[in-house]
Homo-oligomer: A and B are copies of this chain.
Amino acid sequence: MSFTHAILALVAERRSYGYELVQRFEERVGPAWRLSPSAVYPALDQLERGALVTSSARHGGTRRSPRIVYAATSAGRAALDAWQSAPPTQPEPVRSELHLRLAFAQHGHRAALAAQLEAHARACEQLLARYPRASTSAGAALVDAAVLGRLRAELAWLAHARAQLATGG
């Protein structure tokens, strides 16, 4: 998963500091990714060690300490092109904690499972309500379409699974 390349792509679009990159990543890729903000800093460190970005301190504003601002190098831009042109990756595995619980459930777990399916459906509906976003690019609109399709399929399946569980199927 080339999360690091996505951070590099943002920096190549324009110089940014860490927190700004968190916001810009979420804007571009969307909330379904569930970015952990703390993931951005190791990615920046890795990019800097590889000489794909450089950092500099920027003083100013009302802040006492300077902000560390990152910019892409020409090697960084070449790495981005290589990433976009790299051979296709395999589709991600389908792995879900809920699938495991269902696959190994005993009769006595039925009530607990029903509650878990309901909670999953609620969480999917909440996420669905945040889509589609006012997209910033054609690429982001395609990502939104993928997430929407996935969430709708998940909700349809959850409704089916809850009905099966309710009828003892």
* Chain A residues within CB distance 8 Å of chain B: 1-3, 5-6, 9-10, 28-29, 32-34, 80-81, 83-85, 88-106, 108-109, 112-113, 115-116, 119-120, 123-124, 127, 137-140, 142-143, 145-147, 149-150, 152-154, 156-157, 160-161, 164, 169
Is A112's CB under 8 angstroms from B84's CB? yes
Q: Which of B84, B94, B146 contacts A105 (CB 8 A)?
A: B84
Q: Which residues of B contact A169 (CB under 8 A)?
A: 138
Is A95's CB under 8 angstroms from B153's CB? no
Given contacts A1-B97, A99-B146, A146-B99, are A6 and B104 in contact (CB under 8 A)?
Answer: yes
Within the assembled complex, what's the spacing in Å between the Cα atoms of A147 and B169? 18
Q: Which residues of B contact A9 (CB under 8 A)?
A: 104
Is A160's CB under 8 angstroms from B138's CB? no
Given contacts A88-B119, A96-B92, A123-B90, are A102 and B142 in contact (CB under 8 A)?
Answer: yes
